[in-house]
Structure 1
Amino acid sequence: MVMVTLLLILFGGWLIVTCYFFYTDVFGITAAAAGTLFLVTRIFDAVNDPIMGIIVDKTKSKHGKTRPYLLYVAIPFGILSIITFITPDLSVTGKVVYAYITYGLLGIVYTMINIPYGALMPLMSRNSKEKGELNSYRAIGRSVGAIIVASLTLPLVNFLGGGNQQLGFPVVMGIYSVIGVVFFWLTFKNCHERVQTAKPDQKNPEIKKSLVQMFKNKYWLLVSANSFLWFVRMGIMNGVLIYYVNYVLKEPNMAPFYLTLLNIANLVGGFFALSILRKFSSRNSSMLMYGLAAVLLASLFLVEGQSMILFSIIFFAANVLIGYGDPATLTMLGDSIDYQEWKFGTRPEGLLVSSYSFSTKFGVAIGSSFLAYALSWAGYDPNAITEGAKTMIRTLMLSLPILITVLQVIILYCYKLDKHHADIVKDLNL
């Protein structure tokens, strides 16, 4: 479990934190070209996830079905991470082509190691409490990674590059890559597939059959819907926060503070989950946390513009409770995989985890896109902020997240697997 945390510290954040700045300000392509690059590669990446999941399910080796990828893909991933952040002496068109090739390949290789990593957790244990602990460490590592990378990357780039960012970026990514490869290998060495997924002579089910069974798994559908909404809210709140601080709170200098506070809240939520999930079910505790978070978000309307300290405290507490939901949802995902095996006699971890990953990426994309469309519909103009634009920003920051959080409570109310999971595990162990 410690290895899981260490792994996410470096690779949980750096891949997305600095890419946009690097391509526009260091690499030398336009913002529009960079935006199109990310849009195209994200769409391809989302489609690529289920394909990799199917490949993982068909993998048979002496190391299992997921662990070989941590061992063998780590070095190619590290090398591509460095190559992607090299700035070649090419024309603008040549740079765009280089960016598409390297960033596209990096996304493919990242999927090749990230999907097996995600599928490893439900193979380590059937115990819900243990899965909750594992996922809490994962959430903690991701939050720590985002904080560390956001705060240290650019200073390290400037220091190690001697002020030359085109030199500093590949050097820093080289350091991250070496450390990351070591963590991947430590995870490979210390984390093992303990859940027997199939008999030695049992064949893997057909892809079509696995897909049909996946969509008949009502608990997987509920978990995916819950997570989709979690990431929609994240996409909206992360994007609109700077607008809210600038134009509603009218404290533009406080934007970095609130962005950091949001990341720290997610980190604390992971630590919170670490202790709570050992004693209480993921479903019931999540419903409680989301309900309290909705109340706290609603109370922000009352303190908005009145007391920055009180607003910050409530904002932080609400996001701690929301952050708790991430590891809890991953625990329910692991339990839904056990249900799939019990219900249909097959256990396609790769397909279920990768399709779940697709729903999270789709959620972020929907949330971010909705933010842009909503601001445009409200007539947002940075040079002339109207009351209508402020109302839309406030709605996106508070009202819509409250609605999404309430919907999550309703979805979780329909999730009844926590009552039956222990009996299901007993049947599977017979």
Structure 2
Amino acid sequence: MAQTAGKLSLSEKISYGFGDLASNFVWGMTTSYLLYFYTNVYGLAATAIGTLFLITRILDAVIDPVIGVMIDKTNSRFGKARPFILFLTIPFAIFSVLTFITPDWSEGGKLIYAYLTYLILGILYSGVNLPYGALMPMMTKDPEEKNQLSSFRIMGMAMGAIAVSALTNPLVKWIGGGNDRLGFPVTMGIFTIIAIVMFYVVFLKCKERFTESAEKTKEFNTLTSAKHMFGNQPWVMIALNSLFMFLRIGVVFGVLVYFVQYVLGQPEMIPLYLTLANVANFAGGALAPVILRRLGKRNGSIVALTGAVLLYGVLFFLESSPPFLYLAIFFIANIGIGINSPANFSMLADTVDYHEWKFGHRSEGMLYSAYSFATKFGIAVGGSVVAYALGFAGYKPDAVTSQATDMIRILFYLGPIFLTILQIGCLVLYKLDKEHKQIVQDLDLRASSI
């Protein structure tokens, strides 16, 4: 195990944040706009899209453990995680554009094309983003450094999402000149060029310092590692917390465009709401190191998420209030949610140290791939719930009924409140915060005695 003591440089931390900045130029646009694109531009039925999202994400998520095993078994001159970023970034960029192309085929042909492109895009996203996530515990064991890396990651994620939210609609309209079938793929093409550059910055600047030796890599056993994974109780709690977090993201971002347009009756405000949701995430990421240092990752997250639940409840009573007040409460609620995101990534990295301490193997790839399965399943089900619910309520873009707007309202309020309460429950059962420092000391003592 190669070990390098000391703090990470600021440039390496910023470079690490570029990874999620790059991801969100692509995945942020997909998460925020693909449902709308499929229904209103490509002309697919909402219920068909719900099934598409669910099936493709589940199939895609099944691939994640395979990628995780590949990471754990990799021992190249570029390291364990970095080779995947190097070789899969370009294919990921290509399929992100293909997903937003609209061949003029039959209804069945369109659906097959959507299934293929969206499934392959998701697999390639895993192939790049999974190693990127697994890179953090390879870079440092210091909990404060992990907090800072997580904050840079969340700020990068938020900046990418902010850029996508603010720029997508104007670019689509400007490039397409009213032809969204042209505007969407060209806009995605612009975003992917930016993403490629940033992923290669991650590859060049972020170093793997804590990786298992070639001998231990050869000893890796997939079945044993999977069994150990479910014996890692802190990891189970963080994986469940992540499942509920991404379920909430899938529901909120899936329904937000419809909510602002049809419930608030402010379609011109859609870019602002999407942008502010991500600005709030950025603000939460920036505040997180201070709050988490003071309260701890677990307790800080519980406090922040509890505040978010209360504020979402307040929003229900403010629909007829001045738009500025509603927007301000929405923004503050999402800051609370944003504080939990870097804490979640940092706690996930801590579970890798716990895994090594308890079982003798780090298994970053397996742990991060199963975590990725939980997040993808969450986004898939969240997005599908929105699509199915809209279909059940009889949503049609050209004739929105009161039944449809009631369903949109239920999804927007009750969805995030219920799922955030489940997150809080998982965090209450997470006990690693107080034990982690001693675990790292034990691991260092073991390493020095070899």
- Could you state the TM-score of these two structures normalised by the residue count of structure 2? 0.82
Superposition map of 1:67-146 within 5 A? 67-85=82-100, 97-146=112-161
> Among the aligned pairs, what percent are the same residue?
47
What is the CA–CA distance in structure 1 between the aligned matches of 2:311 and 2:377, rounded to whole Å? 27
Deviates more, 1:32-41 or 1:304-313: 32-41
1:182 aligns with 2:184: no
Deviation of the 1:223 alpha carbon? 0.6
Alignment partner, residue 14 of structure 1 = 26
Q: Which runs of 5+ in 1 are unaligned?
A: none
The one of 340, 357, 372 aligned to 2:355: 340
The one of 336, 342, 345 aligned to 1:330: 345
1:417 counterpart SS class? coil
What is the CA–CA distance in structure 2 between the aligned matches of 1:221 and 1:42, rounded to whole Å? 21
1:355 counterpart SS class? helix
1:58 aligns with 2:70: no
Letter in 1 for 2:231: K
What is the CA–CA distance in structure 2 between the aligned matches of 1:279 and 1:362, rounded to whole Å? 33
1:319 aligns with 2:334: yes
What is the CA–CA distance in structure 2 between the aligned matches of 1:42 and 1:288, rounded to whole Å? 32
Alignment partner, residue 283 of structure 2 = 268
CA distance 1:109–1:229, shift in 2 (3 Å): closer
1:227 aligns with 2:242: yes
CA distance 1:20–1:293, shift in 2 (3 Å): closer
The one of 322, 325, 336 aligned to 1:310: 325
What is the CA–CA distance in structure 2 between the aligned matches of 1:5 and 1:322, rounded to whole Å? 19
1:239 aligns with 2:254: yes
Check whether the contact 1:214–1:352 (CA below 8 A) recurs between aligned residues.
yes
Deviates more, 1:234-243 or 1:136-145: 234-243
Check whether the contact 1:85–1:170 (CA below 8 A) recurs between aligned residues.
yes
Check whether the contact 2:61–2:373 (CA below 8 A) recurs between aligned residues.
yes
2:218 counterpart SS class? coil
2:309 counterpart SS class? helix
Deviation of the 1:273 alpha carbon? 1.5
Check whether the contact 2:354–2:439 (CA below 8 A) recurs between aligned residues.
yes
CA distance 1:374–1:314, shift in 2 (3 Å): same
Deviation of the 1:407 alpha carbon? 3.2
Deviation of the 1:286 alpha carbon? 0.6
CA distance 1:246–1:151, shift in 2 (3 Å): closer
What is the CA–CA distance in structure 1 between the aligned matches of 2:383 and 2:289, rounded to whole Å? 29
Check whether the contact 1:67–1:188 (CA below 8 A) recurs between aligned residues.
yes
Superposition map of 1:140-219 within 5 A? 140-157=155-172, 159=174, 171-198=186-213, 200=215, 203-219=218-234
1:359 aligns with 2:371: no
What is the CA–CA distance in structure 2 between the aligned matches of 1:409 and 1:234, rounded to whole Å? 15
Deviation of the 1:274 alpha carbon? 4.1
Deviation of the 1:11 alpha carbon? 2.6
Check whether the contact 1:53–1:349 (CA below 8 A) recurs between aligned residues.
yes
For each residue in 1:97-140, what CA deviation from the matched residue of structure 2 results, as whole angstroms up to 9, or x when unmatched?
Answer: 55544444333322211111111112111112111111111111
Deviates more, 1:226-235 or 1:191-200: 191-200
For each residue in 1:172-196, what CA deviation from the matched residue of structure 2 results, as whole angstroms up to 9, or x when unmatched?
Answer: 4444333322222211111011113
Equivalent residue pairs, number = 427
Deviates more, 1:81-90 or 1:236-245: 81-90
Check whether the contact 2:85–2:203 (CA below 8 A) recurs between aligned residues.
yes
Alignment partner, residue 4 of structure 1 = 16
For each residue in 1:11-56, what CA deviation from the matched residue of structure 2 results, as whole angstroms up to 9, or x when unmatched?
Answer: 3143414545656666x56346666544442222111112111111
What is the CA–CA distance in structure 1 between the aligned matches of 2:442 and 2:88, rounded to whole Å? 36
Letter in 1 for 2:402: I
Alignment partner, residue 46 of structure 1 = 61
Deviation of the 1:425 alpha carbon? 0.4
1:426 aligns with 2:441: yes
CA distance 1:30–1:349, shift in 2 (3 Å): same
Alignment partner, residue 30 of structure 1 = 44
What is the CA–CA distance in structure 2 between the aligned matches of 1:377 and 1:96, rounded to whole Å? 20
CA distance 1:161–1:204, shift in 2 (3 Å): farther
Q: Which runs of 5+ in 2 are unaligned?
A: 1-12, 446-450
For each residue in 1:223-275, what CA deviation from the matched residue of structure 2 results, as whole angstroms up to 9, or x when unmatched?
Answer: 11111122222233333445554665565654544333322222221222244
For each residue in 1:151-189, what CA deviation from the matched residue of structure 2 results, as whole angstroms up to 9, or x when unmatched?
Answer: 324544555567766666555444433332222221111
CA distance 1:155–1:320, shift in 2 (3 Å): same
Deviation of the 1:302 alpha carbon? 4.7
Check whether the contact 1:137–1:274 (CA below 8 A) recurs between aligned residues.
no
1:305 counterpart SS class? coil
Check whether the contact 1:29–1:95 (CA below 8 A) recurs between aligned residues.
no
1:385 aligns with 2:399: no
What is the CA–CA distance in structure 2 between the aligned matches of 1:24 and 1:393, rounded to whole Å? 16
For each residue in 1:50-108, what CA deviation from the matched residue of structure 2 results, as whole angstroms up to 9, or x when unmatched?
Answer: 21111111111122110111122223333444555556676766665555444443333
CA distance 1:396–1:157, shift in 2 (3 Å): closer
What is the CA–CA distance in structure 1 between the aligned matches of 2:283 and 2:211, rounded to whole Å? 34
CA distance 1:81–1:364, shift in 2 (3 Å): closer
CA distance 1:19–1:163, shift in 2 (3 Å): same
Alignment partner, residue 411 of structure 1 = 426
Check whether the contact 2:51–2:384 (CA below 8 A) recurs between aligned residues.
no
CA distance 1:70–1:240, shift in 2 (3 Å): closer
1:419 counterpart SS class? coil
